[in-house]
Structure 1
Amino acid sequence: MAASRPAVPLPRWAETVRRKYIGGEASMFILHHNVFDEILHGGEFYSLVDFLAEVLLKDNKDTILVYDPSAGVRYAKRTSALGTEPVRPNKPPEEALADIEHEILLRHSAALIISYAGSIAPPGEENFLSQADRMAAIRLHRWSMSPELESKDNVVFLLSESLAELNAKIVANPRVAAVEIPLPDLDERAAVIRKVDTGMHEDNVERLAEHSAGLRAVQIAQVLTPRSADNALGDKDRLELIRSLLGSSADAEQRAAKLAGITRGMDTEEIRHLINPDLPLPETDAGDPYAEVIELVHRRKREIIEKECAGLIEFVDARHGLEAVGGAEGIKAELMQIAAAIKSGDKHRVPMGLLFVGPMGTGKTFIAKAFVKASGLSAVTLKNFRSKWVGSTEANLEKVLGMVKALGPIILIIDEGDRSFGGQSEDTDGGTSSRVIARLKEFMSDPDNRGQVLFILMTNRPDKLDIDIKRAGRIDRKIPFFYPDTAEDVEAVLKAIFARYKLGEAIDWAAARPSTSAKLVGYSNADLEAVCLLALNMAGEGSSIDQACFEAAIADYVPARDAGMLEYMEMLAVFEASRRSMLPARYRDMSQEDFNLRLRELKRELRL
């Protein structure tokens, strides 16, 4: 790659490749992550292979080969003076690589681009790989160490969505440079939007660029100008359908015209799904016709990302804010301070991560979702990303972390963290758990993520978590959750539950305290909700819950209790808490000696 800079600036990742190549750091590169996107450069869209062949390598390589295992070999560029027969296109990988070797090792100024490199040199224990896979990995490894490759100004690119999809022999080689191609940043998304919709006002370009975070360039283009389909509606029919869906809403005509533009190419069902009368779009001012467009982009973005990360992440739908949480005033105040710091961009006041710790049924998940609603931030939950297939667990985690980083600022909720990141040993999973935890720790401590990705890790057994995950710089604040400690605390929870389920206001809680809330001290939030719903069933359809009905439900309800284990979980929450002021009175003044003594007693009783 020539030292002179091109007239049009290269993407940052391409500049990194160029710098490493010119500096002699590597002559083999692994390009990973967003390798199937389109790249906007010089006003034109390119696939990654075409960008490499027609932009990055075109002027400084005499021969450019592209190898796709499913399509064979093709020449993107070939100098006729080579004096050798061209590599035949349709050959099995082991033969194709052997023929390609003559071009890239024996000739000067040659480049090789290999798509789907993981299918040629897949990961796994060497004893379990096929002979062809082992030989391919050895050949690529040998190329990376070859002085001829570097001395003759030759270069090799391996394209793979994830490093975990490639043989470790290649990835771990210090002579191979791995360069991540990220999802488009704000400026790149804005450039794509300007290219797709040349008439869009700059203010709306900036708004859409901000709200399309997490989408690839090709997906942004598809959302704004959907590809036509055989059963797509014509312009007139589409406009009439959207008018009927908007009904008599404010500025319906102007809004329908704008929505018709971005639904071009969709059929009736797709349009009905997006512009759903049961999920009405926000009413807007006449001067803000793009509010619906942004709302539709949000919906399409969510569908696209959940489909792409199928089964790995799920967007959080939070119906209730922190006002629906009874009690826990200290926790709510702490969370809102964090949300305000994220929104204001004051990263120094934003923790890297939060640990919600306490017994089951204390409302950890409910408060996490209420925090999402109250903060106005986007949030996703981490689902089961583990797989029985070699390398898939690591690849799944990389896909999730890459997507989360692109969506920031965002909250990543990991429920039952002790199950997601613990419980398996090197002997049972071949070291996968240790690699997953190491990658997670690396991501959690990345200072670039502060204020962009907020981890909320929830568990009732923090003793099962890797101790290094819980250190400051990864989990900066540990928030303990406990069962209501007094009758007043119980009443705060009951009032919130009654309001949430619209159970009426027939009970005077202060007057009824001895026969109601006082009897429920020590019950979990989940138990209190169960008592309220039992009282609702006892009251019968259409009836409100009165004091007698509620007392009957208290007498009838039997909580599932394991007193020893629950106390042990509470003690663990005390042990992990970052601030003494967030502890109940019974633990706040407890001496360290008494605490350690009781914790040891519980461990013996529970045989832990």
Structure 2
Amino acid sequence: MEQTQLDPFSPWLEELNEALFAGTSAVGILYGNTRDIIPDPMDGESSRLSKLLFEEYEKKFHTIVSYDLQSGIRFFREEDQRNFLTSLEAYDAFHGTNFSNNIPREPMPAFSILHSYLQKAVLENKSTLLIVQYAELLFPQLETSFHAEARYLWTTLDKWSSHPIFIEKQIRVLLIARHLSDLNQSLVRSPYVFTVEIPQPNFAARKMFTIHQLKKYSNITNLQADYIAKNTAGLSLIALEQMFLKANAQKEKITVETIKERKKDFIEQECAGLLEFLEPKFNLSHVAGHKAAKEKFKKIIQLIRQNKTEYLPMGYLICGPVGTGKTFLVEAVAGEIGIPVVKFRNFRSQWVGATESNLEIIIGLLKTAYPIAVVIDEADAMLGNRQMSGDSGTSQRVFASLAAFMSDTKYRGKIHWFLMTSRPDLLPVDLKRQGRAEEHIPLFYPESDEEKQEFMHALGRKNGIATKHLYFRDPYQRGLSGADIEAILIRAAREAMIQEQDKISQELLNHVIQNFLSPQYQEDIDRQKEAAIRECTDKSLLPEGITN
């Protein structure tokens, strides 16, 4: 495949070329979107990474050889394969083995053979590129598995990486892996090993690929290539191709809903339970109370719709006592914007290296899936802080990686962070400072009966309960939360059903309100309210009579 500056499918190739021939290291790691298809920019015909690498380097290296656990040692040219078998006979004669009749696939004997072969290439002055597929299986992050075989492989690779003769004679070893965090970190951080990332396809790549698909499958959609490319951000080209193949096989047209569903499926599959894809069913018209907060978000939403995103906040900290509707407000904001919403699930793991690998998967997806809203509930517990210890520094590294990503200004207006907590005072300053979660928006309980009645009507619409004929009057003037009012409404609807009434009567509602007892955690609620007041970054968001 001839590469050009106009090729959007492999922009990383130039960086790889520079690293391979810089003369500073013999070993490199190619990671990221390594299992995607790579189309030809001229005709759209797809190939895999191994084929692209061979086509790119067949004239730059005398020999190209590949190794993985399933296929073992393979050469791309038949002539090189024959020469290898001949040299293997000499290896057998010296070591007393019989590998020429049965080439081993197991790592230790395979690497021993490859080491001898690369040394022979040095003596014969033949530049050689060794491509090691699925490197994370050979050099895993789990240091506890550093048994004899792992030590041998690591020692061999370490010799290759810093061997001056290997560097001088153009002997190169390229490890292929999906995630750097899956590899042994001593390898990743070695000064003798370079790394090159293959990113997810950008807009230009998705658009060009879509154009080729539209030529291939005529009349499959009424959507333009620009629209499809814009709304499939985060998808691999394989996922995009599968969308066209499925629609063609089922003789269906690709619609806006098709793209939304495919994106949802892809995010859930790629993140394997690390992110939950939310589908907002509400907008700000469904949110009762919180007038100042809603007005602030309406202005922000207007800027997003006008594509004026350069000065939008990097993120939002939604705080307030439990039951104030923080999650519902965020989902309503996302529903108003009309962008995908994902929610962090527990990405931490008991297995060494798995937590960092999980976070790398999440960040890799978010980097290309924008515009997107990211919801982190109970953020103070979910994200941790720099001071956490007892896990070999994993929590500190995870916190640092996430904090750095959240403050990357090139994603301003593209990735919208929503951190929610009832205890913002427990959230590290690093995450809630300006440049990360910049806008701190406090939510409070409704105070007057009119506010409580507004909540009741909104919650009635949410739950499909008729409330237009009802009035909410609390004779005790308690500080009821939105969650309390919803509980009262659902209890009243249940009682109406038991009494075989078509709808809730005013008398029944009054009875339920008078008998309702909310669990009393007043000290906790007061502490949460005070924390929300102290965190507020805009006085207009505070209730009357409160100064920050």
Matches within 5 A, 1:454-465: 454-465=416-427
**1:19 Cα deviation (Å)?**
2.6
Query: Which AA in structure 2 matches 1:76?
Result: F
Cα drift, residue 423 of structure 1: 7.9
Aligned counterparts of 2:459 and 2:223: Cα–Cα separation in 1: 43
Q: Could you tell me how far apart the structure 2 residues matched to 1:471 and 1:147 are?
A: 47
2:159 alignment partner AA? R
* Of 484, 507, 531, the match for 1:527: 484
Aligned equivalent of 1:317: 279
RMSD: 2.6
Specify whether residues 338 and 24 from structure 1 end up closer, same or farther in structure 2 by C-alpha distance, changes over 3 A only.
farther
Once the 2 structures are TM-superposed, how far is the Cα of residue 342 of structure 1 from its aligned partner?
2.6
| Secondary structure of residue in 2 paired with 1:537 | helix
Deviations 1:319-365 (A, max 9, x none): 11111110111111222222232333323221111111112111000
Q: Which residue of 2 aligns with 1:66?
A: 66
Secondary structure in structure 1 of the residue aligned to 2:215 = coil
Is 2:101 the counterpart of 1:85?
A: no
SS in structure 1 at match of 2:485: helix
1:32-73 per-residue CA deviation (whole Å, 9 max, x = no partner) reads 12111111124331211121112x211101111111122211
Deviations 1:117-165 (A, max 9, x none): 011111133x552221123223223322222222112222111111111
User: 1:538: which partner in 2?
Assistant: 495
Match of 1:376 in 2: 338
- Aligned residue runs from structure 1 range 275-424, under 5 A: 292-422=254-384
Whole-Å Cα distance in 2 between the matches of residues 370 and 426 of structure 1?
34
Q: CA deviation at 1:206?
A: 2.0
Residue 229 of structure 1 corresponds to: none
1:506 partner letter: H
Q: Tell me, what secondary structure is at the counterpart of 2:432?
A: coil
Name the aligned partner's letter for residue 466 of structure 2: L
| Unaligned ranges ≥5, structure 1 | 227-261, 276-289, 510-515, 591-608
Higher mean alpha-carbon deviation, 200-209 vs 211-220, is at 200-209
SS, match of residue 507 in structure 1: coil
Q: CA deviation at 1:506?
A: 2.1
Look up the SS of the partner of 1:308 in the other structure: helix
Q: Counterpart of 2:116? A: 102
Q: Secondary structure at the match of 2:417?
A: strand
Q: Aligned equivalents of 1:353 and 1:190: distance in 2?
A: 29
- Rounded to whole Å, the distance in 2 between the matches of 1:7 and 1:539 is 70
Q: How does 1:12-411 map to 2 (within 5 A)?
A: 12-24=11-23, 26-42=25-41, 43=43, 44-54=45-55, 56-77=56-77, 79=80, 85=87, 89-105=103-119, 106-107=121-122, 108-125=126-143, 128-198=145-215, 200=218, 204-226=224-246, 262-264=247-249, 292-411=254-373
Rounded to whole Å, the distance in 1 between the matches of 2:315 and 2:459 is: 29
Q: Distance in 2 between matches of 1:57 and 1:519?
A: 80
The SS at the match of 1:30 is: strand
Unaligned regions of 5+ residues in structure 2, if any?
A: 89-98
CA-CA distance at 1:542 after TM superposition: 4.0
For the 8 Å contact 1:507–1:546, the answer to whether it is kept is yes
Percent identity of paired positions between Structure 1 and Structure 2: 30
Cα distance change of structure 1 residues 339 and 23 upon mapping to structure 2, 3 Å threshold: farther
The range that moved more, 65-74 or 77-86, is: 77-86
Distance (whole Å) between structure 2 residues aligned to residue 60 and residue 424 of structure 1: 47
The TM-score, its normalising length taken from structure 1, stands at 0.80
CA contact (8 A) 1:318 1:373 kept: yes
* Correspondence for 1:240: none
Q: CA separation in 2, counterparts of 1:345 and 1:28?
A: 44
CA distance in structure 2 between the aligned counterparts of 1:399 and 1:384, rounded to whole angstroms:
13
Shift of 1:471: 1.5
Whichever residue aligns with residue 66 of structure 2, its letter is V
Shift of 1:408: 0.4
Q: CA deviation at 1:570?
A: 1.2
Residue 94 of structure 2: aligned partner:
none
Contact preservation (8 Å) 1:69, 1:93: yes
- Structure 1 residues 474-483 or 189-198, which shifts more? 189-198
Q: Deviations over 1:376-417 (max 9, x none)?
A: 111111112122222111111111121122210100111111
Kindly tell me the number of residue pairs found equivalent between the two proteins: 520
Larger RCO, structures 1/2 (Cα 8 Å, 6+ apart): 2
CA distance 1:445–1:103, change in 2 (3 Å): farther
* Residues 449-488 of structure 1 mapped to structure 2, 5 A cutoff: 449-488=411-450
Maintained 8 Å contact 2:457/2:467? no
In the alignment, the residues of structure 2 paired with residue 347 and residue 211 of structure 1 have an alpha-carbon distance, to the nearest angstrom, of 17
Over residues 503-527 of structure 1, what are the superposed CA-to-partner deviations in whole Å (9 max), with x where a residue is unaligned?
2322345xxxxxx146454111101
CA distance in 2, matches of 1:7, 1:552: 74
TM-score, normalisation: structure 2: 0.88
1:33 and 1:384 mapped to 2: Cα distance?
22
| Aligned equivalent of 1:507, options 463, 470, 479 | 470
